[in-house]
């Protein structure tokens, strides 16, 4: 969900445990912060409509995820400059065999209602996420834990939970030792297990959540540097600094409001008028001809981020007309990525050659096996071998963000190369768009993108393409792919990366999603704020932001 060189995604357990133990309670070593919480002032950030209630286990998209990142602390926090993991709520995360892990929770951490965060807070939250009847979108992240299969149950071909299939309500691999300690037993060795513990799905939850999850999702009680104040649908989500936040870097502002806009150009206009303080990704109208430099002066930030944009084919049971892999490969070959990047994005993206972003160790150039190159002749040949395509191909996207330009350009490229009809199809907003995808109501092709949750090649592959994975929108299933990524999780270093690369190469044969381009963030900010930072996850580091003056 989330988006420079960085630390290896797959490192030895002893080294990672040592690093995490040494940084207990650290926020990642970011500059700024001091000792005061809520140093002063209020800021606004360009936001969008969350698809789901604000519950960590139910959010795997950026509109809600960007808010939850501020509301919930986790065992691990990622450095805002390098994405290197450091302990946050964890005092230590240790293992001698990469299977059995002992996690100690640091003293003094509380939820925003003042209740203490304990080992039980994590175990209860993780078990709720894994229990199939709860329908948590992020359940798959707990798959490595022993007992997950029994708690998760089974799913039918449409991805719906089969009633009564879960044979346990909790995972046998989780056990509370005492108030501050719990153990985790995995089904197989995984040296990178601690790396994922900074993802939102692993956040602790207070007792009030389990009493009424629906009400909690409307007014969440978190554990992070900012606490929830209000949510006015289609308008804004307001947060305030949490005075008792235990991280070493405290918020320097009193309030942060995510303002929801119908489109990026409206947000950019308000940014220029100092009516909006931070836009994490400037619209194409601003980057064209580097107009933002004239508009904003030096008030912009450029950096590579762990983001990839793709187009995903609807599941076969939703739209069987796109099931043939040769047809999918033909469509990919018909996309002139370089021309679109140059003409629509003014060179501020990088044409993709695979499914993993270059910012993580293990990136494999050319994983697409040539199917990401613009080749109209080969595209037509594969289209003929697939039996052609009748009707109008649609590429769906959310109309409240800056997608129409590239979607139209992509359709034109496909139409010119393959001589088939192609049209962009706009949905009113992100929440509506994602709801249709998750309900398996979206035919044709639809826009997808991945903003890394943690800095790992695995994070770009497993959640999106493993069978029944949390963000597997196209319901792709390949037993050989599943076997390869499962084996990779048991390996370390170069061996693990090689096995993940092997798994990624399998995607070229099936083309469940078309890689388009890798992300480069160009953010802008108003004269009202200083010390604005964008993380490798393409999010705003609210702990660094200060008001100007």
251 belongs to a structural domain: no
Largest CA distance in the chain: 66
Question: How far from chain centre, in Å, is Cα 270?
Answer: 27
Strands 278-279, 513-525: pairing is antiparallel
pLDDT band at 538 (very low <50, low <70, confident <90, very high): confident
Give a yes or no: residue 178 inside a domain. yes
Helices (H), 243-368: 264-272, 284-287, 291-296, 325-333, 337-343
Residue that finishes a domain, picked among 206, 230, 254:
230
Confidence band of 343 (pLDDT split at 50, 70, 90): very high
pLDDT in the model for residue 263: 84
Closest CA to 192 of 453, 477, 506, 468: 453
Q: Do 349 and 466 reside in the same domain of the chain?
A: yes
383-425 pLDDT tens trace: 999 999 999 999 999 998 889 999 999 999 999 999 999 999 9
Please state, in angstroms and as integers, the Cα–Cα distance from residue 278 to each residue in 59, 87, 274, 525, 539, following that order.
23, 28, 10, 4, 11
Could you tell me if 311 and 226 lie in one domain? Answer: no
355 and 218 housed in the same domain: no
Give the separation between CA 17 and CA 21, rounded to whole angstroms: 6
DSSP output for 420-442: -EEEEEEESSHHHHHHHHHTT--
Decide: helix, strand or coil at residue 448. strand
Are both 224 and 109 inside the same structural domain? yes
CATH of the domain at 419: 3.10.105.10
Residue 457 lies inside a defined structural domain of this protein: yes
pLDDT computed for residue 454 by the predictor: 84
Query: In this structure, are 373 and 458 located in the same domain?
Result: yes
Domain CATH number, residue 41: 3.90.76.10
Compute the average pLDDT of residues 500-505: 96
Burial of residue 103, with CB atoms counted within 10 A of its CB: 0-12 exposed, 13-18 middle, 19 or more buried: buried
236 in a domain, yes or no? no
Instruction: Note the pLDDT tens digit of each residue in 108-143.
Output: 999 999 999 999 999 999 999 999 999 998 998 899
- Within-domain flag for 344: yes
Residue 355 shares a structural domain with residue 468: yes
Same-domain pairing of 437 and 343: yes
Q: Are 212 and 310 in the same domain?
A: no
pLDDT of 39 reads: 57
Q: Given a cut of 70, is residue 21 above it in pLDDT? A: no
Q: Which of 294, 409, 395 is closest to 345 using CA atoms?
A: 409
Shortest CA distance to 503 belongs to which of 457, 449, 471? 457
Does residue 452 belong to any structural domain of this protein? Answer: yes
Dihedral angle of Cα 230, 221, 72, 209, to the nearest 10 degrees = -130
Residue 6 belongs to some domain of the structure: no
**Pick from 213, 230, 247: which residue ends a domain?**
230
Is pLDDT above 70 for 273? Answer: yes
- Per the structure, the complete domain to which residue 359 belongs is given by 305-520
- Averaged confidence pLDDT in the chain: 90
Q: Is residue 22 part of a domain?
A: yes
Q: Looking at the structure, tell me whether residues 312 and 226 fall in a common domain.
A: no
- Separation between Cα atoms, residue 549 and residue 547, nearest integer Å: 7
Domain termination residue (choose one: 202, 230, 258): 230
Q: Convert the pLDDT of each residue in 22-81 to its tens digit.
A: 333 333 334 333 344 445 899 999 999 898 999 999 988 889 999 999 999 999 999 998
Do residues 146 and 27 both lie within one domain? yes
Which whole number is the average pLDDT over 428-451?
92
Domains in the chain, number: 2
Query: Dihedral sign, CA of 265, 271, 276, 278?
Result: positive
């Amino acid at each position: 969900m989330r988006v420079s060189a960085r630390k290896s995604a797959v490192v030895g357990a002893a080294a990672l445990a040592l690093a995490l133990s040494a940084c207990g309670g650290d926020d990642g070593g970011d500059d700024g912060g001091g000792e005061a919480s809520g140093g002063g002032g209020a800021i606004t950030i360009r936001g969008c409509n969350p698809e789901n209630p604000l519950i960590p286990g139910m959010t795997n998209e950026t509109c809600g995820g960007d808010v939850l990142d501020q509301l919930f602390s986790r065992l691990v926090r990622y450095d805002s400059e390098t994405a290197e993991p450091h302990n946050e709520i964890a005092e230590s995360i240790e293992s001698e065999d990469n299977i059995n892990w002992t996690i100690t929770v640091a003293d003094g951490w509380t939820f925003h209602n003042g209740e203490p965060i304990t080992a039980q807070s994590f175990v209860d939250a993780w078990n709720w996420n894994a229990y199939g009847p709860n329908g948590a979108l992020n359940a798959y992240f707990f798959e490595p834990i022993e007992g997950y299969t029994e708690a998760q149950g089974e799913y039918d071909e449409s991805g719906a939970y089969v009633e009564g299939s879960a044979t346990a309500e909790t995972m046998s691999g989780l056990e509370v030792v005492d108030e501050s300690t719990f153990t985790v037993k995995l089904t197989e060795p995984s040296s990178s297990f601690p790396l994922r513990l900074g993802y939102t799905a692993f956040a602790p939850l207070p007792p009030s959540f389990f009493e009424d999850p629906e009400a909690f999702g409307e007014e969440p009680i978190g554990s992070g540097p900012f606490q929830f104040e209000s949510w006015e649908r289609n308008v804004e989500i307001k947060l305030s600094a949490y005075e008792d936040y235990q991280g070493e870097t405290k918020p320097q502002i009193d309030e942060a409001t995510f303002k929801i806009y119908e489109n990026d150009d409206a947000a950019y206009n308000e940014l220029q008028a100092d009516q909006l303080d931070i836009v994490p990704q400037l619209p194409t109208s601003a980057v064209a001809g580097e107009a933002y430099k004239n508009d904003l002066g030096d008030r912009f930030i450029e950096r590579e981020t762990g983001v990839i944009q793709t187009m995903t084919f609807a599941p076969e049971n939703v739209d069987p007309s796109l099931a043939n892999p040769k047809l999918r490969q033909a469509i990919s070959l018909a996309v002139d990525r370089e021309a679109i990047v140059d003409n629509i994005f003014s060179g501020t993206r990088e044409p993709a050659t695979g499914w993993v972003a270059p910012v993580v160790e293990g990136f494999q150039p050319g994983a697409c096996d040539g199917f990401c190159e613009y080749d109209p002749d080969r595209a037509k040949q594969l289209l003929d071998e697939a039996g052609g395509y009748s009707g109008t191909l649609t590429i769906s996207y959310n109309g409240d963000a800056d997608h129409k330009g590239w979607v139209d350009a992509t359709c034109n490229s496909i139409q010119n190369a393959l001589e088939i009809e192609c049209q962009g199809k706009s949905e009113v907003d992100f929440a509506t768009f994602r709801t249709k995808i998750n309900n398996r109501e979206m035919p044709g092709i639809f826009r997808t993108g991945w903003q890394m949750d943690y800095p790992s090649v695995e994070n770009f592959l497993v959640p999106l393409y493993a069978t029944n994975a949390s963000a597997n929108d196209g319901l792709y299933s390949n037993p050989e792919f599943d076997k390869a990524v499962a084996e990779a999780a048991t390996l370390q270093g170069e061996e693990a990366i090689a096995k993940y690369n092997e798994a990624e190469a399998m995607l070229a044969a099936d083309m469940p999603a078309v890689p388009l381009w890798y992300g480069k963030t160009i953010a802008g900010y108003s004269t009202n704020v200083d010390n604005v930072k964008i993380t490798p996850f393409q999010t705003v580091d609210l702990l660094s932001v200060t008001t100007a003056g």
